[in-house]
Amino acid sequence: MSRIATAFAEHKPLLVAYLCVGDPSVEASFDIARALLDAGADMLELGAPFSDPTADGPVIARASQRAIERGSSMRAAIEVGARIRKSSNAPLVLFGYANPIVVRGERETVKRVADAGIDAMLVVDLPPEEGQDLRDEARVRSVDIIPLLTPTSSESRIAAAKKVASGFVYYVSVAGVTGATTTDPFDDAARAAARMRAAIGLPVVIGFGIDSADKAKRAAAGADGVVVGTAIVRAIEEAGGDVSRACANAANVVRGIRAGLRAG
């Protein structure tokens, strides 16, 4: 059984923690990743910084820009994953955009991901109908390719995702960017997640806008886990480059969300 399948079997609902690798530095990202796991995160999303992160709101976009300025990249995110794997069996997901993958080569990128011990890739702007080389190489190397679905995903898009999905499904709570939720979609998202699970046959996690224990608890009522991203990245930003404070801030976010999930 894969690390991802084992995690869903043993720890549901999962708490998936996102960080932008390279903010405030690549070395600090490793320390923060360890702090997130120690605080109760079940899975890590290692965000590869990108200059045009179209799915990300202003908080993560700023972090991505800072990370690029400090020398981070998809290569750095993979290397941090390899370091984490040496001391942790937690599932790791490389989160990024298609352009850096295409530039490096789809098959070569998947090879490096697998060699690093990273379990899955979530390519935000990769439709299920594209990326055949990437998907073929991932299948050979047992790397899951995580589909991202939204409230506006059509039945045909859900069916297309089902054909190529593995690992789990990432369900976006709103039709928008990360951290920009102004409505309260989490009860609806929980119901949608349950439908997605039945339709695709994989665990479903809910992301975008989950920044409190209450939201996490409500989302997890119908999902197999929740993703916390912007709240963690904001907590790191508020540390102002102080690595110890960044670790503590990020860990506190995870502890608060974890408490909400336990209460559920």
The phi and psi torsions of 74 (rounded to 5 degrees) equal -60, -40
Q: What is the DSSP string of 14-28?
A: EEEEEEETTSS-HHH
Alpha-carbon separation of residue 162 from 98, 170, 201, 243 (angstroms): 20, 12, 8, 41
Q: Which of 42, 45, 79, 237 is an active site residue? A: 45
Point out which residues pair with 228 in neighbouring strands: 17
Question: In 70-105, which residue ranges form alpha helices assigned H by DSSP?
Answer: 74-85, 98-104
How remote is the C-alpha of 1 from its chain's centroid?
21
Q: Which of 42, 56, 79, 211 is an active site residue? A: 56
Give catalytic status of residue 238 as yes or no.
no
Q: Which residues contact 49 (CB under 8 A, 6 or more apart)?
A: 20, 21, 22, 23, 63, 64, 65, 67, 68, 72, 73, 77
Nearest-angstrom CA–CA distance, 253 and 83: 23
Nearest-angstrom CA–CA distance, 209 and 118: 25
Give catalytic status of residue 42 as yes or no.
no
Active site residues: 45, 56
